């Protein structure tokens, strides 16, 4: 049953990894080509598909009422040029079936789960960087992690304060020495220590590498306690942003993909491109490469992949079983193992929760949000493109729904106020049911 919900988001330049100034023209060109691609495919589908619902003549108010989506949202989307015909929403209904996370995500809903109290309640921790505590940033690509890491390295008030200098290749980023009074690195952050565990290490790379790296430092004579933290971002936006980054020439070839004592082989994880990189790849090409490590990246970077047979080609479990295990493990790690996580879309709330969680770590100024994150950079993807990205990232969608619910409950429990956003998902209870409005 086709359910179509048109999504809007701030895609262009939203990533803090993006060197904003140099992007004007290429972005415009990229935008233009996406629009052309989307229009072309849209027109093709429109003329070739009889499953397309006829033009809907309902009023906005009627639409809001039928869909259960707030009038604010409907008006907001409408103002941005989304046609009413594209908005077929799920409709709450007493006789329906339970809402699953992908369906909920499609209709901008969020299920409110009953998490164990211990997972939700604020657990303040007196962080002592002079002793055993080490903060470890698990930086998933295109989640706004660079902006956050820079903020952490430069703006935390510590004694001694960080010593920073501009990076030669990126003057707007700083390389800092984040050491305590004994000269020990207390923050595992790319701006402080670089990438000694391979670029963008995930849960597997970090847990197998941290001790080795720290033990090799001359200043280390302590028992360490690692506190992992990460940022989670809307999966469709994140994936789209990864495509923009890859087509600018990024490869992340230095990722280790470590599991069960060894790195993945090229046979297990082949490159999607011949030659040095994938510069100029179209979104279609990007989506069509089966081995693209951008798919469900957040899930596999947070999971204990050992449980789902790593990257091995041979396994006596099916792909579906391995995926489910991987997702369950990522959720488990996020709730229990990762000491702190935030959401890119709620970065101010993330910052507030961080300071309440780690007592003794205070920022001297608030994190800067790039212009594009505040709403000036909207782009609309057609249902076609949005659905294609969503289909290929279903594990990340399910992880995101879980993480977002947990995060919102945590900031609520911590008493952090959250201004409502117009396009924000609506919370529904775990027992919420619905039927699909048949088009
Ligand atoms: C850490 O040690 C420095 C001296 O090396 C001291 O000035 C500072 O107050 C200590 N900070 C904490 C949080 O214990
Ligand atoms: C991952 O799972 C394996 C298998 O259960 C276990 O032996 C290992 O300790 C786990 N690794 C981490 C870092 O939790
Ligand atoms: C699956 O493989 C593992 C080792 O790879 C083995 O221990 C286990 O017995 C196998 N299970 C089945 C049902 O064959």
Handedness of CA 376, 4, 405, 428 (dihedral sign): positive
pTM score, whole prediction: 0.79
The bound ligand whose nearest atom lies closest to the alpha carbon of 205 is 2
Question: For 359-384, b where at least 16 C-beta lie within 10 A, e where not — what string?
Answer: ebbebeeebeebebbeeebebbbbbe
Residue with tokens 């409907």: 74
Q: Report d(CA 299, CA 142) in Å as an integer.
A: 14
Ligand 1 atom nearest residue 181's Cα: 5
| Token code pair at residue 256 | 């280790």
Q: From the candidates 139, 151, 200, 245, which is the catalytic residue?
A: 200
pLDDT value of residue 270: 87
Q: Which of 300, 304, 308 to mutate to test the pocket of ligand 2 (most atoms within 8 A of CB)?
A: 304
Backbone angles phi, psi at 344, to 5 degrees: -60, -40
Ligand nearest to the CA of 179: 1
Compute, in angstroms, the gap from residue 29 CA to the centroid of ligand 2: 46
- pLDDT score at 105: 87
Long-range contacts of residues 27-31, Cβ cutoff 8 Å, at least 24 apart: 30/244, 30/247, 31/379
Give, as one character, the DSSP assignment of residue 20: G
C-alpha 227 to ligand 1 mean position (Å): 19
First to last CA, the chain: 8
Q: How high is the pLDDT of residue 184?
A: 96
In the structure encoding, which two tokens stand for residue 433, read together?
Answer: 């049911």
- What sign results for the dihedral spanned by CA atoms 215, 219, 224, 226? negative
CB of 306 closer than 6 angstroms to any ligand 2 atom: yes
Contact 113, 101 (CB under 8 A): no
Cα–Cα distance measured from residue 343 to residue 377, given in angstroms and rounded to the nearest whole number: 19
Q: Any idea what the Cα angle at residue 417 is, between residues 115 and 410, rounded to 5°?
A: 15
Q: Is the CB of 304 under 6 A from ligand 2?
A: yes
pLDDT 10s digits, 321-339: 999 999 999 999 999 999 9
**Ligand 2 near 329 CB (within 6 A):** no
Distance (Å) from CA 335 to ligand 3 centroid: 29
With contact defined as beta carbons under 8 Å apart, do 257 and 201 qualify? no
φ, ψ of residue 166 to 5 degrees: the values are -65, 145
E strand or H helix at 380: strand 378-380
pLDDT per residue rounded down to tens, the chain (439 residues): 333 333 333 332 233 333 333 445 555 555 555 555 444 444 433 333 333 333 344 566 776 666 566 666 666 555 544 544 444 444 555 455 677 899 888 877 888 899 999 999 999 999 999 999 999 999 999 998 888 999 999 999 999 999 999 877 777 778 999 999 999 999 999 999 999 999 999 999 999 999 999 999 999 999 999 999 999 999 988 898 888 888 888 887 778 899 999 999 989 998 888 877 888 888 899 999 988 999 999 999 999 999 999 999 999 999 999 999 999 999 999 999 999 999 998 999 999 999 999 999 999 999 987 644 433 234 456 678 888 999 999 999 999 999 999 999 999 999 999 887 766 788 888 777 665 544 3
- Residue 200 falls in the annotated catalytic set: yes
Distance 258 CA to ligand 2 centre (A): 13
84 vs 79: CA distance, rounded Å:
11
Buried b / exposed e over 180-214, threshold 16 CB at 10 Å, is beeebbbbbbbbbbeebbbbbbbbbbbbbbbeeeb
| Cβ-contact 47, 39 below 8 angstroms | no
The ligand that comes nearest to the alpha carbon of residue 321 is 3
Among 205, 306, 307, say which to mutate for ligand 2: greatest number of ligand atoms within 8 Å of CB.
306
Q: Is the CB of 307 under 6 A from ligand 2?
A: yes
């Amino acid at each position: 049953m086709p359910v179509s919900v048109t999504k809007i988001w701030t895609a262009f330049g939203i990533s803090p990894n993006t060197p904003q100034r140099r992007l004007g023209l290429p972005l415009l060109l990229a935008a233009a080509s996406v629009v052309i691609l989307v229009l072309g495919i849209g027109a093709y589908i429109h003329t070739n598909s009889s499953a397309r619902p006829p033009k809907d003549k309902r009023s906005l108010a009627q639409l809001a009422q039928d869909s259960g989506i707030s009038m604010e949202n409907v008006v907001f989307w409408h103002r941005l040029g989304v046609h009413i015909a594209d908005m077929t929403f799920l409709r709450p209904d007493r006789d329906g079936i339970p809402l699953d996370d992908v369906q909920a995500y499609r209709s901008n809903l969020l299920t409110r789960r009953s998490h164990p109290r211990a997972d939700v309640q604020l657990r303040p921790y007196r962080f002592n960087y002079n002793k055993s505590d080490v903060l470890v940033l698990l930086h998933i690509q295109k989640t706004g992690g660079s902006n956050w890491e820079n903020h952490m390295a430069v703006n935390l008030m510590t004694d001694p304060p960080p010593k920073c200098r501009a990076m030669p290749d990126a003057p707007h980023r700083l390389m800092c020495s984040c050491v305590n009074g004994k000269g020990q690195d207390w923050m595992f952050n790319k701006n402080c220590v670089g990438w000694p565990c391979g670029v963008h290490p995930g849960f597997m790379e970090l847990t197998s590498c941290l001790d080795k790296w720290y033990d090799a430092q001359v200043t280390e004579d302590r028992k360490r306690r690692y506190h992992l933290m990460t940022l989670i971002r809307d999966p469709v936006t994140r994936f789209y942003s990864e495509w923009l980054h890859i087509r600018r020439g990024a490869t992340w070839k230095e990722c280790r993909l470590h599991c069960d004592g060894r790195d993945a082989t090229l046979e297990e994880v082949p490159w999607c491109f011949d030659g040095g990189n994938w510069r100029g790849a179209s979104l279609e090409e990007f989506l069509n490469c089966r081995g693209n490590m951008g798919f469900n990246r957040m899930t596999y970077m947070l999971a204990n992949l050992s449980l789902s047979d790593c990257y091995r080609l041979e396994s006596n479990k099916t792909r579906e079983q391995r995926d489910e295990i991987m997702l369950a493990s990522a959720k488990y790690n996020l709730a229990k193992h990762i000491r702190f996580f935030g959401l890119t879309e709620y970065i101010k709330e993330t910052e507030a929760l961080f300071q309440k969680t780690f007592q003794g770590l205070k920022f001297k100024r608030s994190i800067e949000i790039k212009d594009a994150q505040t709403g000036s950079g909207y782009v609309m993807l057609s249902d076609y493109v949005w659905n294609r990205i969503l289909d290929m990232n279903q594990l990340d969608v399910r992880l995101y729904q879980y993480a977002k619910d947990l995060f919102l409950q945590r900031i609520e429990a911590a008493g952090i106020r959250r201004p409502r956003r117009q396009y924000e998902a609506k919370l529904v209870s775990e027992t919420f049911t619905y039927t699909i409005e048949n088009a």
